[in-house]
Amino acid sequence: DQQVKQNSPSLSVQEGRISILNCDYTNSMFDYFLWYKKYPAEGPTFLISISSIKDKNEDGRFTVFLNKSAKHLSLHIVPSQPGDSAVYFCAASPGGTASKLTFGTGTRLQVTL
């Protein structure tokens, strides 16, 4: 039972355009969401997060939107750069003192010139 779903395994975007990566979740107990970025042969690195009390969080070129009623979040990258080419994982947690993360299957983003 996949509680966090990333239904697009891959995405290709031109440099300078917007990249939109999507994530859906099923567990209503999740109240904190994170995006991780992973390059080949490296560990995932934290990118941006959002608490369920917010519907948007922005950090430079990266913005995460949360729609709690739809149990959906998205990561927007504007403008996309070739260095953004990586696998992006969505993760969710019930927060509090139990900070276990449940990860999605990942979306491979390729930013082309």
Partner 1 sequence: DAEITQSPRHKITETGRQVTLACHQTWNHNNMFWYRQDLGHGLRLIHYSYGVHDTNKGEVSDGYSVSRSNTEDLPLTLESAASSQTSVYFCASSDRSGSGADTQYFGPGTRLTVL
C-alpha distances (whole Å) from 25 to each of 35, 43, 85 are: 13, 23, 24
C-alpha distances (whole Å) from 30 to each of 19, 62, 98 are: 25, 22, 11
Q: How far apart, in whole angstroms, are the C-alpha atoms of residue 33 and residue 90?
A: 7
Contact with partner 1 (CB under 8 A) among 63, 66, 73, 89: 89
Residue entry with tokens 């504007």:
78
- Which one, 2 or 14, has the nearer CB to partner 1? 2
Site string for partner 1, 1-40 (x = CB under 8 A): ---x-x------------------------xx-x-x----
- Which one, 16 or 39, has the nearer CB to partner 1? 39
Total number of residues binding partner 1 (CB under 8 A)?
28
62 binds partner 1 (CB under 8 A): no
- Which one, 13 or 50, has the nearer CB to partner 1? 50
CB of 32 closer than 8 Å to CB of 49: yes
End-to-end CA distance of the chain: 38
Site string for partner 1, 69-88 (x = CB under 8 A): --------------------
